[in-house]
Chain A
Amino acid sequence: AQRVTQPEKLLSVFKGAPVELKCNYSYSGSPELFWYVQYSRQRLQLLLRHISRESIKGFTADLNKGETSFHLKKPFAQEEDSAMYYCALSGLGSGAGSYQLTFGKGTKLSVIP
């Protein structure tokens, strides 16, 4: 069974401090990992995916297969980063076009001015 664990429900950091949102996963094959973000009164949206290896809004995430982790990091938090963050996985090869996501429970990031 596939599972995503986000151990922190709430994370509060001061503006300018580093941020790390933790995510661990359980999956028997080769998963694709994602981070989704939901800003206040906005829709759930994709932030980044591990395969693209991009930095989005200053955030990066590295897939560590040995530790089965996909932590989200940002060196200097900004107030506009305050939001709900969800880690998610999808099994590779689920079928062409098929991305059935398994989400963690989410971490609420609060950046204190």
Chain B
Amino acid sequence: DAGVTQSPTHLIKTRGQQVTLRCSPISGHKSVSWYQQVLGQGPQFIFQYYEKEERGRGNFPDRFSARQFPNYSSELNVNALLLGDSALYLCASSLWGQGFNEQFFGPGTRLTVL
């Protein structure tokens, strides 16, 4: 298993544009979470999805949205890009159920907004 995969690896956009980032979880994992990591900071939680439903949302504006598909893959969309959206976007997948479910992180998508 290749682990969590994300595409694209790098992306350059200009202010005002829209972007879609993609994530494929580890086989058997039904939950996907998204994090934003600005340079010099730790990852910041954006969304968590399970069975195509949003199960958690961090403190991000409505310009950020996500969805999960029947195969448990996920997309993160960001509209009206701002310079401050430049960051590494991490996807993590996990099992779901009572008790601890370790999140396994992908390599990330590096978004640069010019």
Contacts and interface: CB of A to CB of B under 8 A. Distances in A.
A43 B41 contact: no
B52 to A, nearest CB: 14
A3 to B, nearest CB: 11
Interface in B1-29: 3-4
How large, as a class, is the contact surface on chain A?
A: 20 to 34
A98 B40 CA distance: 26
Interface of B: 3-4, 31, 33, 35, 40-45, 48, 50, 55-56, 58, 90, 94-98, 100-107
A48 to B, nearest CB: 11
Contacts of A45: 104-105
Contacts of B43: 44, 86, 101, 103
Interface stretch (A53-61, A72-80, A89-97): A89-97
Given A44-B90, A105-B41, A105-B42, A99 B105 contact: no
Dominant SS among interface residues on chain B: loop
A44 B105 contact: yes
Interface of A: 4, 6, 32, 43-46, 49, 51, 86, 88, 94-106
Contact of B45 (A43, A49, A102, A104): A102
B42 A96 contact: no
B31 A97 contact: yes
Given A44-B90, A97-B50, A4 B42 contact: yes
Given A4-B42, A97-B31, 4 more contacts: A97-B98, A98-B50, A98-B55, A101-B103
Contact of A96 (B35, B44, B98): B98
A101 to B, nearest CB: 6
Contact of B55 (A43, A95, A102): A95
